[in-house]
A and B are shown apart, each in its own frame.
Chain A
């Protein structure tokens, strides 16, 4: 894997962000795939998805959050408290889930104790949990407010043309990632699941124009490459937020390869494109409200199951691993029904609860994966 892409998966302030900042660019963090990156891009800024990598403790996270909260936002808060997000000029917190949305208060309150950790522009963005004409209307208005606030704070202007350009650039990136999907599901796979995840994650931490170029080059290399991975058990990885490449590496240390995913740091972020005709703001909101659903959108189990099953079948997987971070009840519970329905459809499935962060549970996870592979052999 290319070093520069690899670096973005393990380092927050990576070379691209540094270069962007050195050139006077602004960086705006966001928490979730329900925040439209296109808006930040159209404002001439770098959208940067907040992550918890590099956290080695949750001492600050635990000070503001209660005890029964997912370790992902705790790690994000930890890094913020340690000053590692000081390169951000702004941040958008959205109600992806209850743990994540309370990052708003916890970060603001932590900034009373840790000076200078709160970006100068800090915005709470409310995304509906259902799809209806009135929820779309709300979402369009909410996004207009987001734009107004960005413009007012940073002294920029976002035009329809800016939005159209952003849509086109991001659609191009998504289309390229779908091409990567096509390579991953081949019988002889030119890229490991860990490397593929690194490539996808890089898109959340590199300026998109540059990313698209890198991705095009990489895809050409992969398409021409003679190196192929064969003879391994083919797996799909689904469930909670996962930006930890080492989890996939751990899975692939066994006799397996991850050839598909349904993660929000993975395929759920790019499988749906934005319509390029019509009002660009409405098109963006439509796509973000209806794109392949996270269980934060209540009541869409059948749609999610269809998506999961189709991806599993298309990738000809031997099994599915559904993981969830402890206290992520949305994914954790749905994984329970997925398991029932996947097994009924003849697709072996394993559920696994884990903690986010440095892989302190390596032995346990490896043992479970080994047992699962033995079962499906």
Chain B
């Protein structure tokens, strides 16, 4: 990494940009238009978020706080945990530990930091982490490995058995930085008694790790508050997803990004609940008026893995401008038992039970084991309750006109099975596109090429109405 890039703490730089961006939302429209010119790297993505109205503004402010918490954790005497997005941060709040989500921060860099991502990605390679590893971790990991990011106290990851690339990034960081780490590991099945017991025991193992490295006991009252907040959030998410079923879909595409951002940034805390309430208010209003969230709806697309998070959110803007309703990804399926897509499959979902500590631990273990990816790609894709079942279920429920796969070049797991999966989906009647871009690294395929592929697919398959 060039020495000029090592002058400031990267988390501080990122927080500064978001902090100032969040402030400009408080001015008048004229002030906003003037001020946004001074965010040259970021103004299109920022404008896209703020144009969502209150949900976008609240999200920006909440992320501002999230980043500030990371920066100030140590001076406030709190522990900082490096976690993955496949791990619910709720339990950390019960320990008063500050979560630092690696992929979450990668997503912020790739959305906001248009000039420096390549250097961050490539720094990992400089210290031996393979260039073929997933970009989702490499962006945010670069500054930490280089010593110019905020240093966590320990590492928690929950993707062993789910995604080697993901788990490997955390194992690498732990070995390279000599930091204590705890991995959660998942068996290839989901709902049998053996799997449930494994989830429970593994969750307790993680709690024991937290107790050891924080020197604190789990705060049961605090955990209860958090669980109750999760219940509230899940109810709001259920309604938002129920509304997405309407034709036209009353929600803007970016709502999907917010939905899973809330789960991975703000699960169980009030910031997340407030954003969801604001989203729901607008969605209900649009639904009552029969308005499409994107302005018009010409096709409904289910992006059955992940989305694209770089190049000024251009992918999202293109979907919006072309009337493509984004009706979800694997990332938006959290599998609360009363979710619309869980109807008839309630045994695959989780229920939060706040009766006592044991029921809460069981509930959170069940929730964690059903997080996006953790549920779907742990076993063979065509096994019961896995990727194919879930994709078909959601595609039917949401009236998808087409399905599209997008991942990262480091995703060994899905690249190992997406071709046969796409073939099965086509056989079942769903036009299915495999995209070869990288969600976090637009050097792999330019956003324009990626958009052209979607456009061509929709044209050739005559999907647009």
Contact = CB atoms under 8 A, between A and B. Distances in A.
B412 A97 contact: yes
A64 B419 contact: yes
Contact of A106 (B157, B170, B413, B416): B416
Contact of A65 (B128, B379, B411, B415): B415
Nearest to A339: B128
A121 B222 CA distance: 51
B128 A99 contact: no
Interface stretch (A131-139, A158-166, A260-268, A308-316): A131-139
Contacts of A339: 128
A70 B181 CA distance: 27
Interface string B190-230: 00001001100110010000000000000000000000000
A64 B189 CA distance: 23
B382 A105 contact: yes
A67 B410 CA distance: 11
Given A69-B415, A333-B130, A129 B167 contact: yes
A64 B412 contact: no
A372 interface: no
Most buried by A among B132, B160, B167, B423: B132
A72 to B, nearest CB: 12
Contact of A329 (B132, B161, B194): B132
Interface string A37-66: 000000000000000000000000001111
B73 to A, nearest CB: 23
A66 B187 contact: no
A326 B410 CA distance: 11
A323 to B, nearest CB: 13
Interface stretch (B171-179, B236-244, B261-269): B171-179
For chain A, the bracket of interface size reads: 35 or more
A99 B129 contact: no
B127 interface: yes
B415 A299 contact: no
B130 to A, nearest CB: 4
Given A105-B417, A333-B130, 11 more contacts: A63-B419, A95-B161, A105-B416, A132-B202, A141-B194, A298-B167, A329-B132, A330-B168, A336-B172, A337-B176, A339-B128
B188 interface: yes
Contacts of A97: 164, 412
B201 A296 contact: no
A134 B412 contact: no
A295 B168 contact: yes
Contacts of A344: none
Interface of A: 63-70, 73, 95, 97-99, 101-102, 104-106, 109, 124, 126, 128-130, 132, 134-135, 138, 141, 295-296, 298-299, 301-302, 324, 326-327, 329-330, 332-337, 339-340, 351, 353
A63 to B, nearest CB: 7
Contacts of A324: 130
Contact of B416 (A65, A301, A330): A65
A129 B205 CA distance: 14
B163 interface: yes
B165 A98 contact: yes
A329 B181 contact: no
Contact of A299 (B171, B411, B413): B171
A25 to B, nearest CB: 29
B380 interface: yes
A135 B204 CA distance: 13
B1 to A, nearest CB: 16
A65 B419 contact: yes
B104 interface: no
A66 B172 contact: no
